[in-house]
Structure 1
Amino acid sequence: MDIIGADPEVGEDYGDAVLAGQRWEGRSFLRCDFTEADLRGLVTSNCTFTECKFDRTDLGDSSHTATAFRSCRFDRAVLASAAFRSCTLLGSVFAECGLRGVVLEETDLTLVGLSGALLRRASLRGLRLREANVEGADLRDADLRDADLTGARLRAGKFDGADLRGARLSADALVAADLRGARVDTGTAIAFAAAHGLRVD
């Protein structure tokens, strides 16, 4: 079923709603509550969610294209095999979410909260993670090539086996992060050494 929206929906309560398999195009939601809703297989295109709650929401196998999730909260949401393509998740926070198999392509993760997230082997290549919080996140064996991590908080993150070639990292991140076992290019290695007070001749 295709649902094409017009006026924004403000403060609507979709808690416990069963909306699995629906198709939404151009809909706009402001401060709506999707707590424990069943959104499995939901397909969205050019939708906007602002300050919405997705606590314990099932978004497994959902697909989102050119959709914006701005300052939304995903607390223990299920995102297994969900796909976000050409989306923005600006300022959204993910807490204790199931992220296994999530697809993120050409998606903006600026200011996103991913503290403690399980992103092992995740493909984050070329994504914008500026000022994102990935403290304590498991990024082992993740593909972070050409990702923009400028200003990102990386303390206590696990990067063993992660590919950071071409990634942009600020000096503060290079000091705070434990990059042992990560794969980096020469430029990052030199910047890492400089950030730790080493002289490279």
Structure 2
Amino acid sequence: METGEDYRDAVLSRARWDKRQFVRCDFGEADLRGLLTQGCTFDECDFSKADLGASRHQASAFRSCTFDRTVLAESRWTGCSFLGTSFVDCQFRSVLIRETDLSLAGLGGARLRRLDLSGLRLREANLVDADLTETDLRGADLTGARLADARLEGADLRGAKLDANGLRQAKLAGARIDLETAMAFAAAHGLVVQ
């Protein structure tokens, strides 16, 4: 286990890390392009301004980490966890996220438009002011997510779990929903369906 290590400005591109543990490590402005992680854990680590472009992550956990202006272009995340992690001013274009837990993640104001986030766990995530326009959220769990002013226009929400607050606060014009969500939407807005 590595605790409190300083990797700031380090050049670690194309490194391969298997089952390594990092606690409160600083990866700020590090060159991590093409990094491969498998089964690694990162607790309270700082990735501010790091370059994680074209990196690949399998079954790795990033718990309570900070991604501030981090480069994520063309990165792949499969079976990962971002429990309590915050993302600030990160670009998510061409990012692939599969079977991943983003519970309690801070994604306020994030531009997540047209991404495939289907089946992801976003329970109690902060998505305030996030742009999820035309995003695929089929089967995603958004229970307890903060969705005030989140843009979900044209998003695919079929099979997604949303609570009444999310259905009232998000901008949902043109979103595709299933019958169960339509009933929940009506109830959240005080309508009585007979």
1:198 pairs with 2:191: yes
- Matched residue type, 2:175: A
Deviation at residue 78 of structure 1 after TM alignment? 0.4
Which residue of 143, 164, 182 maps to 1:150?
Answer: 143
* Alpha-carbon displacement from aligned partner over 1:110-162 (angstroms, at most 9, x marks no partner): 00111111111111101100000111111111000010000001111111110
Percentage of pairs with the same residue: 60
| Number of equivalenced pairs | 194
Paired residue secondary structure (2:87)? strand
Q: Residue 5 of structure 1 aligns with which residue?
A: none
Q: Residue 174 of structure 1 aligns with which residue?
A: 167
Q: Is the 8 A contact 2:125 2:142 kept in 1?
A: yes
Following the alignment from structure 1 to structure 2, what is the Cα–Cα distance between the partners of residues 141 and 172? Answer: 21
Following the alignment from structure 1 to structure 2, what is the Cα–Cα distance between the partners of residues 92 and 157? Answer: 19
Following the alignment from structure 2 to structure 1, what is the Cα–Cα distance between the partners of residues 92 and 147? Answer: 18
Following the alignment from structure 2 to structure 1, what is the Cα–Cα distance between the partners of residues 111 and 20? Answer: 30
Q: Residue 137 of structure 1 aligns with which residue?
A: 130
Q: Residue 109 of structure 1 aligns with which residue?
A: 102
Following the alignment from structure 1 to structure 2, what is the Cα–Cα distance between the partners of residues 80 and 141? Answer: 19
- Matched residue type, 1:123: D
Deviation at residue 177 of structure 1 after TM alignment? 1.4
Which residue of 4, 8, 15 maps to 1:11?
Answer: 4
Which residue of 119, 126, 135 maps to 1:126?
Answer: 119
1:42 pairs with 2:35: yes
Paired residue secondary structure (1:29)? strand
- Matched residue type, 2:108: S
* Alpha-carbon displacement from aligned partner over 1:32-68 (angstroms, at most 9, x marks no partner): 0000000000000010000000000000000000100
Q: Residue 3 of structure 1 aligns with which residue?
A: none
Q: Residue 29 of structure 1 aligns with which residue?
A: 22
Deviation at residue 108 of structure 1 after TM alignment? 0.5
Question: Which structure 1 segments of 5+ residues have no match?
Answer: 1-7
Deviation at residue 192 of structure 1 after TM alignment? 0.4
Question: Which structure 2 segments of 5+ residues have no match?
Answer: none
Which residue of 47, 51, 54 maps to 1:58?
Answer: 51
Following the alignment from structure 1 to structure 2, what is the Cα–Cα distance between the partners of residues 119 and 134? Answer: 10
Q: RMSD of the TM alignment (CA)?
A: 0.6
Which residue of 87, 93, 99 maps to 1:100?
Answer: 93
Deviation at residue 18 of structure 1 after TM alignment? 0.4
